[in-house]
Amino acid sequence: GAVVSQHPSRVICKSGTSVKIECRSLDFQATTMFWYRQFPKKSLMLMATSNEGSKATYEQGVEKDKFLINHASLTLSTLTVTSAHPEDSSFYICSAIDSGSRETQYFGPGTRLLVL
Amino acid sequence: KQEVTQIPAALSVPEGENLVLNCSFTDSAIYNLQWFRQDPGKGLTSLLLIQSSQREQTSGRLNASLDKSSGRSTLYIAASQPGDSATYLCAVVDDYKLSFGAGTTVTVRA
């Protein structure tokens, strides 16, 4: 089956630093990837849609300058949390659509970010 | 804006009992609906996907139904096992975007 990986799985950083999270489709090409954020005991909230070779589309209320998304290849999208603050601590999950089938989103294992 | 609600938020049952998890959504113009499983601190595992034209999907002990007109889906898990303990999320798909419910956390007691 299609596999999506995320790196790192867990990161702790100091307030004010920037953190980059990678999302990779390992055995398929993905022109479209999605970034979600999940708070404890809450549903996943779609942050942005990442399209290969073009600018990401952000959902209402998501700061594009705060959460930088780059989708430079058909297998890699990155989310950079700039000048992180404790309120950015969360579980970030990416998903990818197989460009061939476009039927199902495949989810990564998630990245736990803790900002001190 | 699509809103997805899952009831109950938590459920505890003895092993062997059947589970019924409910999901409701406000906009019936959906492409499909998916049920996922999430273990603590982990990502999502897709369980079942129901196309908007279908009324149900089955996989092993799992059966999911979809009633678009009433905006409801139900996930049935037969003969529950302790390994079924997890959070179950439903998500409504529209134009490749998923709108998630908050999930039902299931505990199956041995």
Minimum distance, in Å, between the CA of residue B54 and any CA atom of chain A = 15
- Which residue(s) pair with A20 in the sheet? A80
Give yes or no for A7 touching B (CB within 8 A): no
Cβ–Cβ gap A105/B98 under 8 Å: yes
Other CB atoms within a 10 A radius of the CB of residue B19 amount to 19
Residue of B nearest to A41 (CA): B102
pLDDT at A7: 97
Tokens at A79, concatenated: 């989310």
Give yes or no for A26 touching B (CB within 8 A): no
For A57-106, how does the pLDDT look when each residue is reduced to its tens digit (9 = 90+)? 999 999 999 999 999 899 999 999 999 999 999 999 999 988 776 667 88
Task: Check pLDDT > 80 for residue A4.
Answer: yes
Q: Which of A36, A44, A110 sits opposite B42 (nearest CB)?
A: A110
| Four-residue CA torsion sign, B11, B108, B98, A56 | positive
Residues with pLDDT less than 50, chain B: none
Spatial neighbors of B45 by CB under 8 A, at least 6 apart, are A107, B36, B37, B38, B39
Tokens at B108, concatenated: 């199956």
Tokens at A99, concatenated: 């460009």
Other CB atoms within a 10 A radius of the CB of residue A36 amount to 23
Strand order across the A4-7 sheet: A4-7, A19-25, A76-81, A67-73
For residues A5 and B37, what is the distance between their CA atoms, to the nearest angstrom?
17
pLDDT at A102: 64
Which residues in chain B have their CB less than 8 angstroms from residue A2's CB?
none
pLDDT at A51: 87
For residues B56 and B72, what is the distance between their CA atoms, to the nearest angstrom?
12
Cβ–Cβ gap B98/A46 under 8 Å: yes
For B53-66, how does the pLDDT look when each residue is reduced to its tens digit (9 = 90+)? 999 999 999 999 99
Which residues in chain A have their CB less than 8 angstroms from residue B36's CB?
107
A-B CB pairs within 8 A amount to 52
For residues A48 and A45, what is the distance between their CA atoms, to the nearest angstrom?
9
Which residues in chain B have their CB less than 8 angstroms from residue A105's CB?
93, 96, 98
Give yes or no for B54 touching A (CB within 8 A): no
Minimum distance, in Å, between the CA of residue A3 and any CA atom of chain B = 11
